[in-house]
Structure 1
Amino acid sequence: MDKIKQVAIVGGVHGNEFSGIYLVKQYQAAPAAAARPSFNTELVWANPEAFRANKRYLHSDLNRQFKLVDLANTALSNYEQSRAKVLNAQLGPKGRAKTDLLIDLHNTTSNMGACLILTQAGTFYNQLAAYVKMVMPEAIISRDEDHIAAQDHALMCTLGRYGVLVEVGPQSQSVLRHDILELMHTMTQHILDFVELYNNNNLPALPKHTEAFRYLHSIKLPMNEQGERIGMVHKNIQDNDYQPINPGDAIFTLFDGTEIYYNGDVTVYPTFINEAAYYDNNLAMSLNEKVLITLE
C-alpha cells in the first residue's frame, strides 16, 4: 500500500498571511500536535523576509514559482524565485520529492470559511476530501485546475508527492483572528488524522459522494479603456462566497450607479470575492461549478 512517511506543514508562503505562520510556530512549540506515529512531520516557514517586511512578497509571488521549468531556470533569481529553489531542494525535488504530503497554509480576505484546495486528482485526494467533509461538515472542498499535471502547476503544494492547500478566511492581511486560526488548526488536524488512518489501512466508511467546487475562471473588476477601475463588486455578491450566481444576477455596480449583470448561461459559485491580494491584477472573483467527488 502507498504510505505517507514524510509530511511537511508550510506556513508563511505569503508574508502577510499570519495564521499559517503562527500555527507553524505553535506546532514548533508543541511538536506533538503535528505528530502521528506512522509518519514524520517537518514544519517550515516559507517566506520569512516577506513576513519581516510585512508584505505578501518582496519581488514576486512565491506561490507562483514552482513550475518545473521555472525551478530549473537559474536566470530566475530574485528573492522569491531563489527561495523557491531552496524550498524545492529542502522538500522536493519536484517530481521525485522526499516529502510525501505537503500541507500549505493560507489566509484569504474573502469570506470563504475553511477550504481544502486540491490541485491534483486521484484516489488519495478523493478519500481525503470525503474524510475531511465527513468529520468537518462546514469545510469547503475546492478543486483548482486539478486536470493540469503537477509539473506544470506553479503552486508550492505541488512540490510534494501529494499536496494540498488549507485556505481559511475572512482574515485581513497582517492580522490574526482567533476563530480563523482555530479553523486552520482544526482542518490541519483532520488532514493529519486522515493520513494516520490511511497509513494503517483503518479509514472509516466514507461517503460515496462529496460535494466540491471546481474552478472555472476568474473575472476582473470593471475598467475603462485606460485600465482605471470604474466599479466594484455588487453588495449582493460581497461576502457570499460559494453562494450561487444565476444568469442575470447583478455582480458589479459602477460608480455612476449602473449595475452589471452576470451574462453566463449556467449557475456558478464565486470564491475569492474581492480578495485584497488580487487587486494588483484587478481580479474581482473566481467562478466555480459545483461537482461531486465520487469514491469507487
Structure 2
Amino acid sequence: MLGAGSFVVALMLYAGYLYIEAFYSYFHLGTFAVGFDSLEFALRSLRLVTLPVFATLVVLVLIPYTPELLALLGVPERRVRAVREYGHTLARLHPFLIVAGAVLMALWQPLRGLNWLAPLCVAVGLLLGQTSAATARSPRRRRAWERAVSLVVAGVFLMWVVALAAGDLGRRDARRTAHRLVHRVAVVVLSTERLSLTGPGVVDENLGEGLRYRYRYSGLRLLVERDHRYYVLPLGWRKDRDATFVIEDDDSVRVELRPGVRPHGASTRG
C-alpha cells in the first residue's frame, strides 16, 4: 500500500512538472528559472484530473468488482457468472492488448494527439497479465521477479502516458492563454529610467521631468509573479517573434497591477 501511495505521489509531481514545463516553455521560460516548488508541481498535476478522466478512473477501479456489484443489485446468478467469465476472457487476452500498443507505436505520427493510447494499451495489458484470471491457466507458475519486472514496466508506460497527456495539456493551455491575454491582470510599469520594453501593444510614455517615476509602460499583461519578479507579455505577443519581459521590483521601478478586460458577458457586479 505504501509503495502504491509513493508511486501516486511521484506521478503527481512528475505530471505537474511536465505540465508547468510545457506551459512556460511556450513563453520562453524555464521551470526552475521561474522558481516553482514541489507543492506547486503537485497542485498543477490536478489540472489533469478533468471530469472525463475522473469518470474513467472510477470505472477502472470498479471493473474488478462488477460481479459483486451486480449480485448486490439482484442480477440473476447466471448473468453474474457470464460477466465474470467475460472478465476472465479479457484478462487472458492481455497479450493482444500489448501487441495492439506496439502497433499503435508504429503509427505514432498519424495518431498525433492520441499518441497516449499506445503506451496505455501496453500498460493495461501488462497489468491484466498479473491478475489471477490471466495466470490461472498458465502452464507454469510465474516467478516473483517476473511479476516485479512486469509491474515496473507497466509503471514506466503509465508515466509515459502521463507525460504525453501533461505536455499536451500544458501546451494547449499556453496557446489559450496567449490568445486571451487581454483578460489577464494588466501591468503598468513606472520607472526612473527608460526601459527596453517594446512590443506589439506596449505604450511607452514620458511623464516629464520632476517626477521620480518618469517613464510609464502599459499594454502589458501578467503571466506569473515570483519573488518580486514579474513576468509580463505585451498584449499582441506572438510566440515566434516576441519576448517575455522580466521586471525586477526594486527602488527604481514601481509595478501596478490592474484588472484585465472582462470576458464578454461577464457580470460587472462586484
Given the two structures, how large is their TM-score scaled by the length of structure 1?
A: 0.21
The structure richer in helix per residue is: 2
Q: Which has the larger radius of gyration?
A: 2
The structure richer in strand per residue is: 1
Given the two structures, how large is their TM-score scaled by the length of structure 2?
A: 0.22
